[in-house]
């Protein structure tokens, strides 16, 4: 795999790593690669482009559109919309390509470029590598009527909202929901669709300026949402990240309901409706052991993949599974979308509360989260972690100490010399003790 693309597109400091020149060149290269793969065969290609509302998204969107149009691709500019909305519109409009300008939950100075293939699917590694390899190459530019045309997509939001409402299994009348849109892409769409679904909605974090995305609001800053839910005596709160591809929740007591709990609730709801393919949920190795235990009690199989929603999605597609996601709140429902969709996830969660008449806290009790400690050990030879006998012996001793009531996981960082030590145990003190002791061994044995 090349050096530019990560697990979710190209991301970094806007106007630092992510420049207008790079955005333009990537768009040209993407048009060439997809065109030569036959994606544009027999017709004039067109793309859908959107942004999460960051100030830097303005010049980067202009650069992406310029690159695509100069390569002969017509462009529909969808403006500020969630990443899953751009994925949906790419499929719904029959576009050959989708592009989203977003750095997701990252702070405002960052931005990123995500490419989507026809149907709204993320590009596979080989295609991304091919795009990276074609950057800056000489090419014959179209002229005259062959250059791409640019139009504003005025009904993208309404198309997406109707799609979300069509997926709703039960309306939300009687529910009071607080929405935190992280001053990002969901600021207009999420409150509107919840109201259209019948809920009474209180909104925070929905005044985007281009400079305040994820700043003290959203799924990485839940404190304001927790306070607001209690203050408003709401039934639940929903928090999105900047591009609204994830969802975390808060129950009526102000307690956080994470992605593992959300997936557990949705798995049982989907099984009840006959929609949980093979009674299986796909999660990552970072999901809490409490979820695995809870799902086992309910007769739901849990498959675990490497960390990253793209790996969850790959496993779902390969096995024909319908529900998957991550503890962080990326939840994928393949019957309704090709990527994690925080607005859809929030709607489905609220729908389950409305349908059952049970509180979110009661529904979330299907699993009990085990205390979890994560220690990042920096400056170590991460590639030696699996072969070092002393480290592996320490892991075995830690696992033996915890028995079946806990779990030990060592995970190598994909981008830096760092090993993540994760321990789950019946109580926090034991999780802390085991994790830090194991981290000391990793540090001593693998220091660079």
Residue 41 in any domain: the answer is: yes
pLDDT value of residue 114: 95
Residue 5 in any domain: the answer is: no
Q: Does residue 63 register a pLDDT over 70?
A: yes
Q: Does residue 8 register a pLDDT over 90?
A: no
Q: Are residues 149 and 163 in the same domain?
A: no
Q: Are residues 337 and 391 in the same domain?
A: no
Q: Does residue 41 register a pLDDT over 80?
A: no
Residue 4 in any domain: the answer is: no
* pLDDT mean over 53-60: 98
Q: Are residues 228 and 298 in the same domain?
A: yes
Q: Are residues 88 and 181 in the same domain?
A: no
Q: Does residue 1 register a pLDDT over 60?
A: no
* pLDDT mean over 20-41: 89
Residue 229 in any domain: the answer is: yes
Closest by CA to 51, choosing from 82, 96, 24, 97, is 82
* pLDDT mean over 344-364: 98
Taking the C-alpha atoms of residue 436 and residue 439, their distance in angstroms, rounded to an integer, is 5
Number of domains in the chain: 3
Q: Look up the CATH number of the domain holding residue 438.
A: 3.30.310.50
Weakest mean pLDDT among 37-41, 113-117, 226-230 = 37-41
Question: What does R_g of the chain's alpha carbons equal in angstroms?
Answer: 22
Residue 3 in any domain: the answer is: no
Sorting pLDDT into bands at 50, 70 and 90, what band is 81? very high
Q: What percent of the chain has pLDDT over 70?
A: 99
* pLDDT mean over 364-389: 93
Sorting pLDDT into bands at 50, 70 and 90, what band is 37? confident
Sorting pLDDT into bands at 50, 70 and 90, what band is 349? very high
* pLDDT mean over 209-213: 97
Q: Please give the helix or strand (H or E) that residue 67 lies within, else none.
A: helix 56-70
Residue 1 in any domain: the answer is: no
Taking the C-alpha atoms of residue 24 and residue 10, their distance in angstroms, rounded to an integer, is 13
* pLDDT mean over 215-238: 97
Q: Does residue 330 register a pLDDT over 90?
A: yes
pLDDT value of residue 352: 98
Domain boundary among 153, 173, 206: 153
Structural domain that includes position 131 = 10-153
For 88-105, write each residue's pLDDT tens digit.
999 999 999 999 999 999
Catalytic residues: 104
Residue 2 in any domain: the answer is: no
Q: β-pairing, 418-424 with 407-412? A: antiparallel
pTM: 0.91
Range of 119-128, 175-184, 374-383, 391-400 with top mean pLDDT: 175-184
Sorting pLDDT into bands at 50, 70 and 90, what band is 415? low
Q: Are residues 167 and 62 in the same domain?
A: no
Q: Are residues 142 and 166 in the same domain?
A: no
Greater confidence (98 vs 42) lies with 98
Weakest mean pLDDT among 2-6, 78-82, 350-354 = 2-6
Please, what is the average pLDDT of the chain?
Answer: 94
Q: Are residues 284 and 305 in the same domain?
A: yes
Q: Are residues 201 and 298 in the same domain?
A: yes
pLDDT value of residue 7: 73
Domain boundary among 364, 385, 410: 364
Q: Look up the CATH number of the domain holding residue 93.
A: 3.40.120.10
| Helix, strand, coil shares, percent, the chain, to 5 | 40, 20, 35
Greater confidence (372 vs 82) lies with 82
Q: Does residue 125 register a pLDDT over 90?
A: no
Question: Contact at 8 Å (CB) between 44 and 148?
Answer: no
Q: Which two tokens stand for residue 384?
A: 């030696």
Residue 180 in any domain: the answer is: yes
pLDDT value of residue 414: 66
Sorting pLDDT into bands at 50, 70 and 90, what band is 71? very high
**CA torsion 211→213→216→218, rounded to 10°?**
170
Q: Does residue 307 register a pLDDT over 80?
A: yes
Domain boundary among 364, 395, 424: 364
Q: Are residues 27 and 60 in the same domain?
A: yes
Q: Which two tokens stand for residue 1?
A: 């795999």
Taking the C-alpha atoms of residue 9 and residue 13, their distance in angstroms, rounded to an integer, is 14
Sorting pLDDT into bands at 50, 70 and 90, what band is 234? very high
* pLDDT mean over 353-377: 95
Closest by CA to 281, choosing from 262, 300, 297, 265, is 300
Q: Are residues 145 and 168 in the same domain?
A: no
Taking the C-alpha atoms of residue 396 and residue 209, their distance in angstroms, rounded to an integer, is 51
Q: Are residues 182 and 293 in the same domain?
A: yes
Q: Are residues 112 and 189 in the same domain?
A: no
Q: What percent of the chain has pLDDT over 90?
A: 88
Q: Does residue 329 register a pLDDT over 70?
A: yes
């Amino acid at each position: 795999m090349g050096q530019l693309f990560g697990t979710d597109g190209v991301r970094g400091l806007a106007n630092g790593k992510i420049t207008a020149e790079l955005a333009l060149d990537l768009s040209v290269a993407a048009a060439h690669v997809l065109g030569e793969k036959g994606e544009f065969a027999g017709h004039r290609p067109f793309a859908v482009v959107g942004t999460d509302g960051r100030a830097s998204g303005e010049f980067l969107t202009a650069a992406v559109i310029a690159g695509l149009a100069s390569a002969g691709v017509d462009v529909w500019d969808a403006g500020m919309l969630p990443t899953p909305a751009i994925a949906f519109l790419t499929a719904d409009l029959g576009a050959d390509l989708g592009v989203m300008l977003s750095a997701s939950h990252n702070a405002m100075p960052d931005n990123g470029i995500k490419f989507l293939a026809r149907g709204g699917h993320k590009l596979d590694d080989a295609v991304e590598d091919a795009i990276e390899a074609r950057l800056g190459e000489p090419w014959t530019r179209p002229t005259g009527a062959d250059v791409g045309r640019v139009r504003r997509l005025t009904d993208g939001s309404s198309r997406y909202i109707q799609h979300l409402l069509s997926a709703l299994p039960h309306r939300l009348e009687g529910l009071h929901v607080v929405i935190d849109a992280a001053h990002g892409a969901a600021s207009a769409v999420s409150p509107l669709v919840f109201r259209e679904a019948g809920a009474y909605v209180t909104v925070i974090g929905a005044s985007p300026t281009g400079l305040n995305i994820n700043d003290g609001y959203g799924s990485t800053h839940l404190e304001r949402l927790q306070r607001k839910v209690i203050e408003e005596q709401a039934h639940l709160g929903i928090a999105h990240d900047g591009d609204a591809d994830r969802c975390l929740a808060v129950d009526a007591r102000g307690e956080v309901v994470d992605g593992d709990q959300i997936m557990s609730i949705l798995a049982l709801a989907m099984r009840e409706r006959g929609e949980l393919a093979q009674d299986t949920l796909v999660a990552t190795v970072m999901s809490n052991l409490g979820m695995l235990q809870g799902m086992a009690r309910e007769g739901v199989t849990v498959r675990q993949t490497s960390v990253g929603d793209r790996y969850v999605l790959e496993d779902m597609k390969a096995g024909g599974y319908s529900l998957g996601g991550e503890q962080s709140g990326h939840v994928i429902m393949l019957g309704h979308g090709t990527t994690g969709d925080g607005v859809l996830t929030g709607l489905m969660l609220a729908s389950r509360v409305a349908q059952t008449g049970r509180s979110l806290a009661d529904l979330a009790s299907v699993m009990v989260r085990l205390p979890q400690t994560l220690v990042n050990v920096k400056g170590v030879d991460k590639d030696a972690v699996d072969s070092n006998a002393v480290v592996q012996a320490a892991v075995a001793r830690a696992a033996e100490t915890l028995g079946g009531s806990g779990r030990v996981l060592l995970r190598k960082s994909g981008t830096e010399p760092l090993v993540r030590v994760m321990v789950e145990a019946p109580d926090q003190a034991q999780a802390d003790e085991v994790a830090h002791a194991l981290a000391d061994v990793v540090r001593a044995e693998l220091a660079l």
